[in-house]
Chain A
Amino acid sequence: MHQSRLFRRSLSCAVLAALSLAGADAFAAKVSRLTPPSELFASGNAKGPVISRFMQGQRFDLQATVQPDAGLTITDFYFSVDGTTTSPASLDGNFQLTYPFANRLGRVDESASDATCVDATSGKTTGKSGCKLAAGLPGNTVVVSQRAYANYSAGVHTLKIIATQSDGSKISAEGNFEIVAPESGYTKAKNVIIFLGDGMGATHRTAARIMAKGYAQGKAKAPLTMDTFPYTSMVMTSSLNSIVTDSAPGMQNYVTGNKANNNEEGVFPDDTLDAFDNPRVEYLSEYLHNLQGKSLGVVTTADVFDATPASTAIHTSARGNGTGIVDQFLDDRAQTGLTVLMGGGRKWFLPNPSNSVSPQPVNGSQRRKANDYVLSDDIVNGWGVARGKLDPERDVIADFQSAGYAYAPNNAGLNAAFKNGVPNKLLGLFAYSNMNVAYDKIAGRRGDSTVVDAFGFPDQPLLEEMTDKALQVLSKNKDGFVAMIEGASIDKQAHLMDTDRWILDVIEFDRAIAVAKAFAAKNPDTLIIVTADHECSGAAILGAATASAAELQAKPNSGTGIVGVYEAAKFPKYKIAADGFPQSTLIDNKMLIGYGANADRYETWLPNLYPTLDTQQPFPPSQSPPSPSTRNKDIGYFVSGQVPGDQAVHTATDIPLSAYGASAAQFHGVIDNTDVFFKLASAAMAQ
């Protein structure tokens, strides 16, 4: 770590005694974390390309974890950039500060006398429930912050934290960050639409093309809509702390321009226990809402608290904090411009007074104080956001409605919301948790609603219908919009290695893209990108079955015996129904998929009648098998897994990105997922 001691002092006898007992290294004064993350701080390397980057005026928090000498405390601190004390964000542009600078400074530390939070023997923090700091830090550690910093000067800047100890000595450390100006040569994109196929790698796209369009003589008979997009990049997807990302940084990296740790959304990591106080980075939605007045639309087939939708607008280090996440969607709408929110997840919106008084209504609410949020003064003042409240009793649907959002509980309700004209704002909550997948929704529309009935939601819209409605609402804003539209269960079903279900979800996703492409054709100041947060399952198209559908059913443990490779695979021929989906996925000589990042499973090559239990779906039919490791156990062919647990996992494989519309030509080559943010922002800010 690149840091220096500005002033040394003589240690008192008492302190020296303490050091000798506990070990000098453990208690030597230092800055153990400086945010934004930088290689300058981490390794002393002041040169790129590994550096945190921000657009001009994009807000972010400065933060440091300071460990004073033993027996001392931190009495004061300040941050400096390029040798100058940091000041409030410039009043240029649309950033209007309404609070005194000092109120944007914050510090978090433990009370030294608190035996629960600081172990008396080791002198280290315990990290126990109710404490403030993570475990293992010296008990006098302090986390200091300056919230909502912004810089308008393009280039690399040196960041320094200077902290004063209680004996007057000072400790400091240096890092750096880069400010990026909008790139030139862009065509203005008033509207930005991000299609995020969760877990969708190249295999998932190809499989959907083979099934939905068919091949003959080696050529696809027709492209998917996403295939028609004229520009393509390959995207590197790693997170701040792993080559393999989860969906939170996988999404948020696209819309903050910076890497986050796995499980974290719109924040950098820190050393406090509060999941909602991490150093924030301004989202594309917030940046463009503040700068240009754009609206935000979030559309997903998942629970709306899920990592991908939340990583467009929510700031938390714990992606599972559903109560606080859905509250923040509403509370910070003035910051994000949230205008459309659609998906599943009704359970987080229902009032639950159980944390205060009984009786609790039998409404299935999952709201709890333990995953709600309350923000500190520095965040509230710095970012101008709502403080939040631990309020499981809150009726969030009613609050959305009071704020002017039309509420649609099902597809009929969605259509009804448009009967008297396009609403100004829209909330759609079509399922208790994740929505049903296309495979089961389509079955319901074709007359067998066994699964959707069992889930309790027989009338759920398809993603293309949600997309159409979202674009109608969002396009009412003359200043444009940012929309994130997610095909969520491509990933969820790939985790479960339920081949037929994820392929149909890619087809559903592509049909939604077609809706947006038609919108962009009429509104050429629209940029659409189709991408993924990561690949899931290491899916691979092995070939096709050498057996008929009847033979597969008669012998579901055929295993490798019926896998036709190379020319034996030929060209599987699926028949597409009028609704755009295959009449059946169980055809003679069907396409076969293998998984390179697989857990143990029993393979039959047959469609599964019921969806496998989704651990985020708390209202499953009782026939759902618990996991791929038990599904088809008595009839299938055992495939040994290569990863622990019950599900296939994400991989670090680069994923394809396709672009269409204004500034689409800027997407080419192999790029990092954070690069996408600067391209989207440059397109939105082009003249």
Chain B
Amino acid sequence: MNGVVGTIAKAIVCVCAVFSAPLHAAQAAGTGTQRVPNLLAVRKDLGPPPKGVADLKFHDIFKTPVGDKGLEASATLLALDGKRVRMVGYMVHQQPAPSGAFLLSPLPAEISDEDEPLADDLPPSVVSVELADAANRSVPLLPGLIKITGVLHVGAKADAASGRVSSVRIALDAPVSKALLGAAPAAPKPASKPAATAAR
């Protein structure tokens, strides 16, 4: 980084690199790691994805820079449509708790579909994750970073209950789905609490 910030950032990049990793590690390892099933837990070394599975990162979902008329699916995303992928992110804390599916976000996030639907603060790169054979099963909230594997589907689908439309979905692998449903529910909330004192 040059200039203002420039010099600064270069000077402190090591510090930040050091503390940004522990920040995430701390969240992943924080209150409730023991409740995250092994299949979804993020360890220090993520390691290569399983055979036949490709890593998909949130920032690879859309083309950048953003187009004049909005976001567009990236070539990476389209190339992985219908294939098995692995993603790492945060389970969105939804109220009421979702059934049979949850949202995976690049940042800790919390939403309430019971509130008046004002500005939606969820990143557009949020991915809808559908559990196998669990349409009416309440999904336990897992804290911190989690990893998932499943089949990627690109194309809009509306959730009947919330009306939320997801453009990118992952059909969770059956073993991961089973492990998730077996996790202890009612884990602590993620760190982000946007509603209480958001910038006004």
Contact = CB atoms under 8 A, between A and B. Distances in A.
A645 B196 contact: yes
B23 A625 contact: yes
A250 to B, nearest CB: 9
B26 A622 contact: no
B161 interface: no
B12 A634 contact: no
Interface stretch (A264-272, A578-586, A668-676): A578-586
21 contacts: A262-B200, A360-B167, A362-B167, A366-B119, A370-B117, A371-B118, A432-B71, A442-B3, A500-B5, A504-B4, A553-B11, A577-B4, A582-B4, A583-B3, A583-B6, A586-B7, A607-B8, A608-B16, A609-B9, A609-B13, A614-B199
A585 B199 contact: no
A397 B107 contact: no
Interface string A438-461: 011011011110100110111100
Interface stretch (B33-41, B152-160, B173-181): B152-160
Given A318-B118, A583-B7, A645-B193, A362 B168 contact: yes
Contacts, number: 247
Given A618-B121, A643-B197, 18 more contacts: A355-B163, A359-B156, A362-B168, A364-B62, A432-B66, A448-B1, A456-B66, A491-B199, A581-B4, A582-B4, A583-B7, A606-B12, A613-B107, A619-B123, A619-B125, A627-B192, A630-B191, A650-B200
Interface of A: 246-248, 262-263, 305, 307, 318, 320-322, 346-347, 350, 352, 354-355, 358-366, 368, 370-371, 397, 407, 409-410, 413, 432, 439-440, 442-443, 445-448, 450, 453-454, 456-459, 491-492, 495-496, 500, 504, 549, 553, 556, 577, 579, 581-586, 599, 606-610, 613-616, 618-627, 629-635, 643-647, 649-650
A247 B117 contact: no
Interface-central residue, B8, B64, B71, by most chain A CB under 10 Å: B8
A71 B79 CA distance: 67
B192 A626 contact: yes
Contacts of B3: 442-443, 445-448, 577, 579, 581, 583-584
Contacts of B106: 620, 622
Contacts of A410: 65, 68
Contacts of B165: 352, 354, 358, 360
A519 to B, nearest CB: 27
A487 B116 CA distance: 28
Interface string B35-68: 0000000000000000000000011001011101
Contacts of A364: 62, 66, 70-71, 124
Interface-central residue, B62, B123, B154, by most chain A CB under 10 Å: B123
Contacts of A371: 117-119
Contacts of A365: 70
Contacts of B150: none
Nearest to A438: B4
B90 to A, nearest CB: 9
A307 B199 CA distance: 10
B140 interface: no
Contacts of B122: 618
A307 B117 CA distance: 16
A613 B7 CA distance: 23
A414 to B, nearest CB: 12
A456 B66 CA distance: 5
Q: What 9 A-B pairs are tightest by C-beta distance, nearest first?
A: A320-B118, A446-B3, A645-B197, A363-B70, A448-B1, A645-B196, A364-B71, A359-B156, A615-B194
B12 A644 contact: no
A625 B24 CA distance: 9
A679 B66 CA distance: 43
B94 interface: no
A362 B9 contact: no
Contacts of B167: 360-362
Interface string B76-110: 00000000000000000000000000000011100
B199 A446 contact: no
B172 to A, nearest CB: 21
Contacts of A619: 66, 123-125
A321 B157 CA distance: 24
B156 A607 contact: no
Contact of A626 (B2, B15, B120, B191): B191
B1 A646 contact: no
A627 B154 CA distance: 31
A579 B2 CA distance: 13
B23 A586 contact: no
Nearest to B16: A609
Interface-central residue, A248, A622, A624, by most chain B CB under 10 Å: A622
A644 to B, nearest CB: 6
A646 B196 contact: yes
A359 B167 CA distance: 8
Nearest to B117: A370
B75 to A, nearest CB: 13
Contacts of A491: 199
A585 B3 CA distance: 10
Contacts of B192: 613, 615, 626-627, 646
B188 interface: no
Contacts of B4: 439, 442-443, 446, 504, 577, 581-585
B19 A307 contact: no
A372 B20 CA distance: 39
Contacts of A623: 20
B124 A609 contact: no
Nearest to A582: B4
Given A321-B118, A454-B59, A459-B65, A360 B156 contact: yes
A368 B168 CA distance: 19
B7 A584 contact: yes
B107 A553 contact: no
A392 to B, nearest CB: 10
Contacts of B6: 443, 446-448, 583-584
A492 to B, nearest CB: 5
A586 B120 contact: no
Contacts of A630: 23, 27, 191
Contacts of A447: 1-3, 6
A450 B1 contact: yes
B5 A439 contact: yes
A345 to B, nearest CB: 10
Contact of B199 (A432, A495, A582, A620): A495
B157 A358 contact: yes
A171 B117 CA distance: 38
B107 A626 contact: yes
A500 B5 CA distance: 9
B5 A456 contact: no
Contacts of A635: 15, 18-19
A89 to B, nearest CB: 34
Contacts of A620: 106-107, 123
Interface-central residue, A320, A362, A616, by most chain B CB under 10 Å: A362
B11 A647 contact: no
Contacts of A443: 1-6, 9
B47 to A, nearest CB: 19
Nearest to B20: A623
A172 B81 CA distance: 67
A97 B4 CA distance: 57
A586 B8 contact: yes
B15 A556 contact: yes
B22 interface: yes
A246 B199 CA distance: 9
Contacts of A496: 199
B62 A366 contact: no
A577 B3 CA distance: 8
A644 B1 CA distance: 35
